Chain A
Amino acid sequence: MDAHLPLPSEITPPELYARRREFLQTAIGVGLAAVVPAPALAAADAPTPLRHVTGYNNFYEFGTDKEDPARYAQRLITRPWQVRIEGLVKKPVTLDIDDILKLAPLEERIYRLRCVEGWSMVIPWLGYSLDTLLRRIEPLGSAKYVEFVSAVQPETMPGVRSRVLDWPYVEGLRLDEARHPLALLVLGLYGETLPKQNGAPLRIAIPWKYGFKSAKSIVAIRFVEHEPRSSWMKANPREYGFYSNVNPEVDHPRWSQASERRIGEFFKRKTLMFNGYGEQVASLYAAMDLRKHF
């Protein structure tokens, strides 16, 4: 018997992603739409070309220019890599990246990514729900939030020498947000291992929040009681709130969030509430004033 398991990259070569839309359109044509999950059909969300996904990044550890991560991140050391699970948990553990990779089968999820700067992409991520990992951890009753700490490698990261942000990069989610099935632990994209400039070897993708909420190159996941202060909140509390849900009605003080430019498109498109994932996530914020908790 042939025991060879195909790698994700063997299943779906990048050229085929471009034809996904054709497939969806055909599917709609023959009345199969019902079997395709709703978010996948919302608007024409063709995946952004790989060269843009890996060539236009915000990863300030490698510099503040969009091209800096692609230029400098190749030096990032991603093996060995450990992730500490700590804070308010019954038993703190340190997980090896190779164990995390084997923890659950990798799924492909095509998510929209909306940057706070007013541009967006569509990225076929590879990973599994963050909850799959969090489920194995027993938090204490007092844990209400999760903090994500990114790596600091001064010898490979030219950006951390400047005090642009308070290093290490810290982001956070409310525990129920982190456990939402759409919150993805990312280990790859476009059917390949996660490129370094996109946050190798593991990152998260929280598609209903602005891109900076999706921490890259994570080295620690910390359960805490109080709302964490993220690096961006420390840098500018007036402009960056803890929740940072994509919200066309709440402007960033320096630019409107009503519309966005999808990378590769000429005209701008209207930004959708919760980046179009409202149906799935709006209930998380049912009783909240999202103008106040921006």
Chain B
Amino acid sequence: MTIVPMPIAVLKTLTFVLCLLPLGWYGWNAWHDMLGANPIEAVTRGLGTWTLNLLLITLAVTPLRKLTGWHAAMRLRRMLGLFAFFYAVLHLTTYLWFDQFFDWQEIARDILKRPFITVGMAAFVLLIPLALTSNNRAIRRLGGRRWQALHRGVYAIAILAVLHYSWLVKADQSQPLLYGGILAGLLGIRVWWREQERREQLAGKYSPQPKSRIIPLIPR
């Protein structure tokens, strides 16, 4: 049996639709009053969970490519990252609107006084420049190296996002720990790879022409 590689357009369309499914699910259930006794909390939580899910999925793209050699995954990374931002915007909006009803004074107090909101808001603010530079023009303007340095900020953002979840929970840390564990794995594997690379360089194995396929930052 041979696996027919999917054309990138099909893959992208599929990803796009899949990423919209959680929103559709909450929308449909909200419309039919099936979100339980506290629907606003259910929606806020759900959108937060999917922001976190998509952040981790985005961070899994590079390890997935390296481990499986499935290079096409790289072409989905931008869309996944932007969907993480999309859900973050919706998550924040539900808080600003349905929790605080745009009471800016109360919101400011929350950001200053509640550590879980402080880190959540920090994570969101840090996501904005990444979302704004998730296009080819920004990569060309910034240059690949600077662009990459900026986008490594997503590691810190993901840590803040998991902290945001952990500090919000009253007693049962099992879910935040699960997310923390997955994130630790995704970041740990990068540290390990980097360390391997460094050792190889020190051992003189470094060759100016790397054998692995170069993935162009600007997809054609």
Q: A66-B37, A256-B110 are in contact. Are A164 and B171 (CB under 8 A)?
A: yes
Q: Which of B36, B113, B115, B167: most chain A CB closer than 10 A?
A: B36
A-B contact count (CB 8 A): 50
- Distance A67 CA – B99 CA, assembled complex (angstroms): 22
Contacts of A263 in B (CB 8 A): 37-38
Q: Give the shortest distance, in Å, between B138 (CB) and chain A (any CB).
A: 37
- Distance A263 CA – B114 CA, assembled complex (angstroms): 24
Report which of A165, A254, A261 forms a contact with B167, defined as CB distance below 8 A.
Answer: A254
Give 1 or 0 for each of B190-202: 1 = CB within 8 Å of chain A CB: 0000000000000
Establish whether residues B171 and A60, one from each chain, have CB atoms under 8 Å apart when the complex forms: yes
Contacts of B40 in A (CB 8 A): 261, 266
Whether B70 is near chain A, meaning CB under 8 Å from some CB there, is no
Whether B174 is near chain A, meaning CB under 8 Å from some CB there, is yes
Report which of B98, B101, B114, B171 forms a contact with A255, defined as CB distance below 8 A.
Answer: B114
Contacts of B114 in A (CB 8 A): 253-256
Report which of B36, B101, B115 forms a contact with A254, defined as CB distance below 8 A.
Answer: B115
Contacts of B106 in A (CB 8 A): 256, 258
Contacts of A66 in B (CB 8 A): 36-38
Contacts of A253 in B (CB 8 A): 114
Chain A contact residues (Cβ within 8 angstroms of B): what range?
20 to 34
| A contact patch SS | loop
Q: A162-B174, A268-B101 are in contact. Are A67 and B36 (CB under 8 A)?
A: yes
Within 8 A of A (CB), among B62-104: 98-99, 101
Within 8 A of B (CB), among A196-243: 235-236
Establish whether residues B36 and A55, one from each chain, have CB atoms under 8 Å apart when the complex forms: yes
Whether A71 is near chain B, meaning CB under 8 Å from some CB there, is no
Give 1 or 0 for each of B30-72: 1 = CB within 8 Å of chain A CB: 0000001110110000000000000000000000000000000
Establish whether residues B101 and A267, one from each chain, have CB atoms under 8 Å apart when the complex forms: yes
Q: Give the shortest distance, in Å, between B167 (CB) and chain A (any CB).
A: 7
Report which of A67, A119, A162, A254 forms a contact with B41, defined as CB distance below 8 A.
Answer: A119
Q: Give the shortest distance, in Å, between B5 (CB) and chain A (any CB).
A: 41
Establish whether residues B171 and A165, one from each chain, have CB atoms under 8 Å apart when the complex forms: yes
Within 8 A of A (CB), among B103-139: 106, 109-110, 113-116
Whether A26 is near chain B, meaning CB under 8 Å from some CB there, is no
Instruction: Determine the residue in chain A with the shortest Cβ distance to B114.
Output: A254
Contacts of B38 in A (CB 8 A): 56, 66, 119, 261, 263
Q: Give the shortest distance, in Å, between B190 (CB) and chain A (any CB).
A: 32
Whether B145 is near chain A, meaning CB under 8 Å from some CB there, is no
Instruction: Determine the residue in chain A with the shortest Cβ distance to B99.
Output: A268
Establish whether residues B171 and A254, one from each chain, have CB atoms under 8 Å apart when the complex forms: no
- Distance A119 CA – B41 CA, assembled complex (angstroms): 10
- Distance A256 CA – B100 CA, assembled complex (angstroms): 11
Contacts of A264 in B (CB 8 A): 37
Q: Give the shortest distance, in Å, between A159 (CB) and chain B (any CB).
A: 9
Establish whether residues A254 and B116, one from each chain, have CB atoms under 8 Å apart when the complex forms: yes
Report which of A56, A164, A165, A255 forms a contact with B37, defined as CB distance below 8 A.
Answer: A56
Instruction: Determine the residue in chain B with the shortest Cβ distance to A117.
Output: B170
Establish whether residues B168 and A254, one from each chain, have CB atoms under 8 Å apart when the complex forms: yes
Give 1 or 0 for each of B154-171: 1 = CB within 8 Å of chain A CB: 000000000000011011
Q: Which residues of B contact A (CB under 8 A)?
A: 36-38, 40-41, 98-99, 101, 106, 109-110, 113-116, 167-168, 170-172, 174
Which 8 A-B pairs give the minimum distances between C-beta atoms? Answer: A56-B37, A52-B37, A64-B172, A164-B171, A263-B37, A164-B172, A235-B171, A254-B114
Q: Which residues of A contact B (CB under 8 A)?
A: 51-52, 55-56, 60, 64, 66-67, 117, 119, 162, 164-165, 235-236, 251, 253-256, 258, 261, 263-264, 266-268
22 contacts between A and B (CB under 8 A): A51-B37, A55-B36, A55-B37, A56-B37, A64-B172, A66-B36, A66-B37, A66-B38, A119-B41, A162-B172, A254-B115, A254-B116, A254-B168, A256-B106, A256-B110, A256-B114, A258-B106, A261-B38, A261-B40, A263-B38, A266-B40, A266-B98
